[in-house]
Structure 1
Amino acid sequence: MTVNIKHLIEKNKEEFYKDLDKVMQIESVKRAPLGNAPFGIGPKQALEQVMKIASDYGFKTNIVNDAVGYAQFGEGDDHIGIVGHLDVVPAGDGWSFPPFKLSKKDEKFYGRGVLDNKGPIMSCLFGLKLLKDMGIKPIKPIRIIFGTDEESGSSDLPLYLAEEIAPIFAFTPDCKYPVVYGERGIVNYTISTHFDASELQNLTIQGDQSSVHVPDELTAIFQGESYHVLGKRSPSNAPELGENAITILATKLSSNKEMSDQLRRYFLWVEESFSKKHYGEGIGLDFEDEDSGKLILTPYELKVEQNTIQLSIAIRYPVSTKEEEVTEQLHKVVPKESEIKIIRQLKSTSFPKDDTNVKKLSAVYEKITGLDGTPVTTTGATYARFFPNTVAFGPSFPGQKGIAHNSDEYMDEKDLLLNMEIYMEAILALACD
């Protein structure tokens, strides 16, 4: 059967927008466990809403261990999977639109999760509905899987895999194009540097600091004097797109002659090691390889804790680099009286670039966009690290970066619909050929 997918999407897009808005309106941010909601009530409500929508579309649905749901088209165990997530990071400040609503202006859709990841995974679900309504029958079952804890460590997937078999192949629409076959290693450290208690008793540091973004506003108070600095927020895996308030603050504090020599040297070290040095060059961590490119380093938290100053940094290292090499070099460059603690670690991952299904996805991407479909690697961390037989595929196109976790998260309408077209063609190639 020949299907004009582009025409089909255009004809039905308003229905898609209404259903997407139902999901966007739910504040699916992780909270404390509550009853049968292991990641808080918001993610669970979003999951239940999507299961209702999928059931209304005519799909078999199920919620597994209150953590992950799926919508399946076709029967059988050896299924093709599409795995995305319904949880989102907190909205934060600075929005021009309601964060928990699908808003449209100048051919752009705005709202928390419209790109990461409600918009893309719902476009997969609606695209599958359109194919089903046209009478398309898959040779292999298609299962669209909806997680609820991707933003906080993907602890939902083990709950799913404890009850369900893994797909024979899957993609996650939660990264970038073309096919992402490899993900860099990730390691986060906290460097605790000791001082005499008297040196720190008049110093406090306040601000919104998180491992997911470059901090953009900090205030230090030292001996009653306030030091307020403004930077620019960006995702922690794209620090070059932001301005880090930690290093700006360190520059200010290092020139304060009222501080002890040790404190001033410490802040000078922070400035010289990390200010605009996003690739580890300030501390001898400038590793790189052909597949991954350069190591990426982001200071994301600076705080005073008892008699220490604690600096936390996030590092994404190339697939050919070992975590032990990074740790060994870091020990060589931290200030005296410092301790290093690893607080997060994810080994790099790689999927065969010449896999038949990877080639099918690459061919779909090239056919629809006319762009080079050669598989790539990423600095991000997706479900592909934790789910067997999985690669990342979309939704961001080359050159689109640093949008997802910011205020006014957006997706161009044409890109949202182009994603749906790509994913529908991908379903046909993977499960219907």
Structure 2
Amino acid sequence: MIAEEKINEAISTNEKAFLENLRTIMQIPSVKGSSEKDAPFGKGPKKALETIVPIIERCGFKAKVVNNAMAYAQWGDDDENYIGIIDHLDVVPVGDKWKFNPWDLSDENGRLYGRGILDNKGPALATLWAMKILKDLGYRPKRTIRLVFGSDEENGSKDVPLYLEKEKPPIFGWTADCKYPVVYGERGIVNYSIFTLILDGSLSQIKNLQGDMSKDHVPDELSIEIKNKKVESHGIRVPSNAPEMGKNAITYLAKKIVDENLVSGQLNNYFKWIVKALHQKHYGEGLGIEFHDNDSGKLIMTPTGLNIENNGMRIEIAIRYPVSYQEKQITAGIKNNIPVDSNIKVIRSIPSVMHDKNSKFIQILSEVYEKVTGLDGTPVTTTGATYARVMPNIIAFGPSFPGQKGIAHKENEWMDLDDLLLSIKIYMRSLERLGSLE
């Protein structure tokens, strides 16, 4: 084991170079774009992969781009039996309302800002520097360690199958794209589209419904014309897996319409249903799906989209359900609690994933986390979705500490510098332990 004081001193010595390289990566607008030759997820994500390669090589590791989808830093010669860390360099769109330049690394009183600082460029570079510092301090792993940088995690992780066409999966590893302590289970995800017929002519009272609506976050700004008058709804944007921390502009719009009697007929009844079933009902209690279990806690749900169509209204709902439940139970519950003349369709479906929380690998990471931080390392589950669902043998581990929630996918995304440097130390100790296994 490397002495504590040597690790602390090395992290401090490397801080400046680490942040300079992190800034280089964060200045790349790596949002998914149109597929092009040799750039399956667009120019931005591909540029991020191309930029990380020379950084990897300067850190002293073998670098390779796989199928134009993922790049890796490898420490060791065994290409088939390796400990793998699977992070990503693609990011979600920035939106507006930023105080800081989203395509840069800003520091205000020790808090770092920029798109990707938390999700996931900051933790990805922290892991690379954990490997670099270990190497510089003379550690030599018995097992090969490979840090993989993805480019499509935010849009379905289609980079993983492209990687697995050419490479073996890791024997064990983590993705630093969730929270601490070790995450041994991820809830099931299902998104629904519910279309409701409006046939009494009342639909003509509204038009031009507009706003920033996406499955990854709670909508915060909507506008609509009602009887030729513009009506606005203002919420608070948060990730769709933490709706209780925000304000959903869809349900607040519906409440405003109902409270002020802005429409009549079947359309009024429709907005009344939204208020009754969805407004501030984050746990499925308005849809007959208030499920929970000991591993996961409560089901989480939020509407993410609302559209006017030719003869009706369509709403989209995102749900994260407990690991002990099945999607068919969610669907059955909702079917009994939607308006008449409605049909429901599954538009996204990702089953839950569970790992043995008593495995030796998870126990090692839990022990490291407790020793480095002094915090409880009991493994947990998450409402989030990570590479652990698509890359075999992967769990989630970091980077958000207990109490830090609802930061990613919104304006002024942040991570404290002290926490980022602490993550370097956690990952150093984790790699030291896992790399020493026979």
TM range (shorter): over 0.9
Residue 54 of structure 2 is aligned with which of 52, 57, 60?
52
1:100–1:112 CA contact under 8 A, matched in 2: yes
> Deviating runs (4+, > 6 A) in structure 1?
none
What's the counterpart of residue 337 of structure 1? 341
What's the counterpart of residue 264 of structure 2? 260
Cα separation, 2, equivalents of 1:414 and 1:112: 18
What's the counterpart of residue 16 of structure 1? 18
Residue 379 of structure 1 is aligned with which of 363, 377, 383?
383
Say whether 1:250 aligns with 2:254: yes
What's the counterpart of residue 185 of structure 1? 188
In the TM superposition, 1:289-328 aligns within 5 A as 289-328=293-332
In the TM superposition, 1:6-405 aligns within 5 A as 6-76=8-78, 77-196=80-199, 198-204=201-207, 205-255=209-259, 257=261, 259-405=263-409
The residue type paired with residue 41 of structure 2 is F
Deviation for aligned residue 1:95: 0.6
Cα separation, 1, equivalents of 2:251 and 2:198: 20
2:25–2:121 CA contact under 8 A, matched in 1: yes
Cα offsets for 1:80-123 (capped at 9, x unmatched): 00000000000110111100101111111100000000000110
Deviation for aligned residue 1:253: 1.6
1:197–1:306 CA contact under 8 A, matched in 2: no
2:110–2:417 CA contact under 8 A, matched in 1: yes
SS in 1 for 2:356: coil
Cα offsets for 1:286-313 (capped at 9, x unmatched): 0000110000011111110221201100
Percent of aligned positions that are identical: 52
TM-score for both structures, normalised by structure 2 = 0.97
TM-score for both structures, normalised by structure 1 = 0.98
Cα separation, 2, equivalents of 1:97 and 1:255: 37
What's the counterpart of residue 413 of structure 1? 417
Cα offsets for 1:143-180 (capped at 9, x unmatched): 00010000000010000011100111010000000000
Deviation for aligned residue 1:196: 2.3
Which of 129-138 and 401-410 deviates more? 129-138
RMSD: 1.1
Deviation for aligned residue 1:259: 2.8
Cα separation, 2, equivalents of 1:109 and 1:71: 25
Which of 5-14 and 82-91 deviates more? 5-14
The residue type paired with residue 300 of structure 1 is T
Cα separation, 1, equivalents of 2:246 and 2:344: 26
2:288–2:333 CA contact under 8 A, matched in 1: yes
Cα separation, 1, equivalents of 2:271 and 2:205: 16
Deviation for aligned residue 1:220: 1.4
1:193–1:338 CA contact under 8 A, matched in 2: yes
SS in 2 for 1:131: helix
SS in 1 for 2:31: coil
Cα separation, 2, equivalents of 1:378 and 1:308: 35
Deviation for aligned residue 1:257: 4.4
Cα offsets for 1:250-308 (capped at 9, x unmatched): 01222454633211111011001111110011121100001100000111111102212
Cα offsets for 1:372-412 (capped at 9, x unmatched): 11110000000000010110000000000000111110100
Query: Aligned pair count?
Result: 433
Unaligned stretches of 5+ residues in structure 2: none
SS in 1 for 2:142: coil
Unaligned stretches of 5+ residues in structure 1: none
Deviation for aligned residue 1:245: 0.7
Which of 375-384 and 251-260 deviates more? 251-260
